């Protein structure tokens, strides 16, 4: 199993997210479309997962 330490891709995404207001707004605007849908990702089981975060936000 891969450790939970952030990978380059995760760090790159975080940098992109923080730097690009337009990208953040696009993701946040799209959240309602995710409500009730299954999401999958490559995060190892038991590690923090971006799909879990998106679903949590979408289902609030």
- pTM of the prediction? 0.56
CA dist., res. 56 & res. 60, Å (int): 6
Domains held by the chain: number: 1
**Is 42 within a domain?**
yes
Q: What is the pLDDT of residues 17-60, one digit of tens each?
A: 677 778 788 888 988 998 988 888 877 777 777 788 888 888 88
CA dist., res. 26 & res. 57, Å (int): 14
**Is 14 within a domain?**
yes
Looking at residue 33, what DSSP letter applies? H
**Does residue 2 carry a pLDDT above 60?**
no
Candidates 8, 16, 6; CA nearest to 49 is 6
Q: What pLDDT is recorded for position 33?
A: 92
Whether 53 and 9 have beta carbons less than 8 Å apart is answered as no
- Cα dist. 43→3, 7, 29 in Å? 10, 10, 24
**Is 47 within a domain?**
yes
**Is 1 within a domain?**
no
**Is 41 within a domain?**
yes
């Amino acid at each position: 199993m891969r450790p939970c330490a952030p990978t380059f891709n995760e760090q790159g995404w975080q940098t992109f997210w923080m730097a690009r207001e337009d990208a953040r707004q696009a993701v946040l605007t799209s959240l309602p479309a995710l409500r009730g849908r299954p999401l999958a990702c490559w995060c190892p089981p038991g590690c923090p997962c971006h799909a879990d975060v998106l679903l949590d936000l979408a289902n609030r």
